Amino acid sequence: MTATVLFLCTGNYYRSRFAEVLFNHLAAARGVPWRADSRGLATELGVNNVGPISVYTLAGLQARTIPAEHELRFPQQVQEADLHAAALVIALDRREHQPYVTERLPAWTERIEYWDVPDLHLLSAVAALAAIEAQVLALLDRCAQERAAP
């Protein structure tokens, strides 16, 4: 049975999309029976985003030779059903995302794992994507260990 991790960021355009595609690529390569999806907590704030996915996300995937042709959907707003369908929910930046969760999905505030990867105005794309990659690799190790546990 495949479990799902749901990555959340503000607009579902940059960080969460990178985490989703990277996780799925690496999980498949490692044979880890988990799948990632992603959503945004406040997609209405991305009205000035160009295209379906950030150029920084695409460049980060390309630099890692990860194809993204099938990942070109437009950002999606998180719904409560998305949270219920996931075995694990991770918001990419506690300082930025926990207030949205508290305001919009208060029952989930303490049920979400929070990472600390800020948006572009606080951290360069190269540094942010490297931080996400490190977190995803550690998460994949956790998921593989859970699978190995009796």
Residues 70-114: tens digit of each pLDDT: 768 999 999 999 999 999 999 999 999 999 999 999 999 999 999
User: What pTM was computed for the model?
Assistant: 0.94
pLDDT at 89: 98
SS3 call for 26? helix
Sign of CA dihedral 29, 85, 132, 49: positive
Determine the Cα–Cα distance for residues 85 and 93; give it in Å rounded to an integer.
21
Domain 3-148: which CATH number of 3.40.50.2300, 2.40.170.20, 2.40.50.140, 3.30.70.870? 3.40.50.2300
